[in-house]
A = this chain, B = another copy of it.
Amino acid sequence: MKRSYFLSKEKLGSQDSLPLDEVIENLAFNEQGLIPVITQNARTKQVLMMAWMNREALTRTLNSGRMTYWSRSRQEYWVKGETSGNTQALVQLSFDCDGDAVLCLVESAGPACHTGREHCFYLNVNADGQTVSLTDLT
């Protein structure tokens, strides 16, 4: 992890700026060249999904404004909504304090989840601490 880069910058404030290329260069992509991406609805603040980007997917997302992930199961770029129509338009992209995660605020044109649910985190541990219930399909 190239944490020293981010550590050296953490006292900067909104009056300073860093070159985007330099920040990307120092991100902690994992051994598969991937970084986890959290996608959040910009309006409702609901966390929609978590997926992965490689450096190229990150660049494509920033340049196109359309959320573009790396599909680990299909081993290909995945422009969200390209087949389903449920696209995600990028509103704001942010990196975290040690450069090992990305947060994207998006405008979502439909459900984020392939099941048709608004978001993917629909398996909820119940108060009994023993069981899990699912959010209903809409």
Instruction: Give chain A's interface residues, CB within 8 Å of chain B.
Output: 1, 3, 6, 9-14, 16-20, 23, 36, 38, 40, 44-47, 49-50, 62-63, 73, 92-101, 103, 113-115, 117, 120-126, 129-137
Task: Say how many copies of this protein the assembly contains.
Answer: 2
A97 touches B124 (CB 8 A): no
Q: Which residues of B contact A132 (CB under 8 A)?
A: 17-20, 23, 95
Given A11-B137, A120-B97, A123-B95 in contact, is the A38-B47 Cβ separation under 8 Å? yes
What are 7 of the A-B contact pairs (CB < 8 Å)?
A: A16-B133, A18-B134, A44-B45, A49-B96, A96-B121, A97-B113, A97-B117
A103-B50 Cα distance, complex, nearest whole Å:
9
